[in-house]
Amino acid sequence: MLNPKGGILILLEKGHKEGFAAIGGARAMILERLIKSPGTSELSDPDPAPETQTGQIEKSKGMIIAPCTTHARCPMYVEPGKMKQPKQFCRFAQRYVRPHVLQRILGNPSHNHEDAEFSYLAVQRGVDRREVNGLVQDEHTTNTAFAGYEHSVDINEANANDAKKEIIDPLMWPRVVLPPIKRKGHVSMDLCTPEGKIERWTVPRSFSKQAYRDARKSSWGDLWPLGAKTRIHRPVRAIKIEEATPAKKKKIVKPGADSRRRRAALAGESEEFDLDDEQGQKLADRVNSYHDQRITGKNKKENKVPKWARQMEVKRDRKYGKQLGHE
């Protein structure tokens, strides 16, 4: 599947929770069973497979080249079955121009582009720059990246090759995993650090002219090597399945249910309703006056007939109908 001398495998899924769960599961499996980290055992110990007797698989040299700059556990990935997937997950966006035929089908001539979100993973086999360059992705590397590489090395005095190697190595830089928050006078970025944590770094105008200028132009998915002034840890909270509240079921009301209940209530009431001629005439006049207001009213409130008037009209018609039937 992969060339053992530098072959690259790219996994791509849609940018939703299920797509990221597939990418995260593949990443965890590759790190656990296939890639050998410097200073660790060359054998993995998964569950014994039927075709193997010892259950041990020999790991090979390799590394993750994108988007992660860490080979630790993904801080946004949650193993399925234990917790619910958090709202924030690792994904990126790419804008593309729609074809002319699709533009005509959609009928939206003002916007000829669309942003597609995706989750991806790029793995290289047979090459490990961590071992070649002696890189260690730990807390010290994250602190060095937080200080920034802008003034860490004096190129005029130091060896040019060593300085270049330390500055341009992307495995020691954090990556922007969410859209940067750009405010007046400062920029806040959510980064995945080489240590394997999600942190929010803030770059104000007073920190560095070059860093602030580049932060204003930064975008989602970029690497950030210029450091920041302040940072806070942002753990991704996942809710356990046992603690998750069940979703509320919506009550479905069939069409006409209110009218049927109203008719049943009127039918269940007492049929005895004695009114003399004078009371019946007054009731008829009141109902007619409301009908006149409904026709000549200016707003909906004036046009609406009160509920009691409708009920009295129904009872009056029922009484007169019975009287005509007896006659």
Strand-pair category, 60-66 with 35-36: parallel
Q: Render pLDDT for 230-244 as a digit per residue (tens, 0 to 9).
A: 999 887 765 554 444
Q: In terms of pLDDT, which residue wins out, 253 or 51?
A: 253
pTM beyond cutoff 0.75: no
Question: What pLDDT, on the 0 to 100 scale, is given for residue 245?
Answer: 47
Q: Which residue has the higher pLDDT, 226 or 290?
A: 226
Give the confidence band of 305 by pLDDT, cuts at 50, 70, 90.
confident
- What is the reported pLDDT for 33? 84
Q: What pLDDT does residue 263 have?
A: 62
131-168 pLDDT, tens per residue?
A: 777 777 788 888 888 888 876 655 455 555 554 445 46
The 3-class secondary structure across the chain, one letter per residue, is CCCCCCCEEEEEEECCHHHHHHHHHHHHHHHHHCEECCCCCCEECCCCCCCCCCCCEECEEEEEEECCCCCCCCCCCCCCCCECCCCCCCCEEEEEECCHHHHHHHCCCCCCEEEEEEEEEEEEECCCHHHHHCCCCCHHHHHHHHHCCCCCCCCCCCCHHHHHHHHHCHHHCCEECCCCEEECCEEEEEEECCCCCEEEEEEECCCCHHHHHHHHCCCCCCECCCCCCEEEECCCCCCECCCCCCCCCCCCCCCCHHHHHHHHHHHHCCCCCCCCHHHHHHHHHHHHHHHHHHHHCCCHHHHCCCHHHHHHHHHHHHHHHHHHHHC
Strand partners of residue 176: 191
Weakest-pLDDT range from 9-23, 85-99, 198-212: 85-99
Residues 277 and 275: their CA atoms lie apart, in Å, by 7
Contact criterion met (CB below 8 Å) for 125 and 3 = yes
Asked whether the predicted pLDDT for residue 56 surpasses 70, the reply is no
Average pLDDT over residues 98-104: 80
Per-residue pLDDT for 32 more than 80? yes
Mean pLDDT of 82-104: 79
Q: What are phi and psi of 222, to 5 degrees?
A: -75, 155
With cut-offs at 50, 70 and 90, classify the pLDDT of residue 84: low
For residue 298, pLDDT over 80 is answered with no
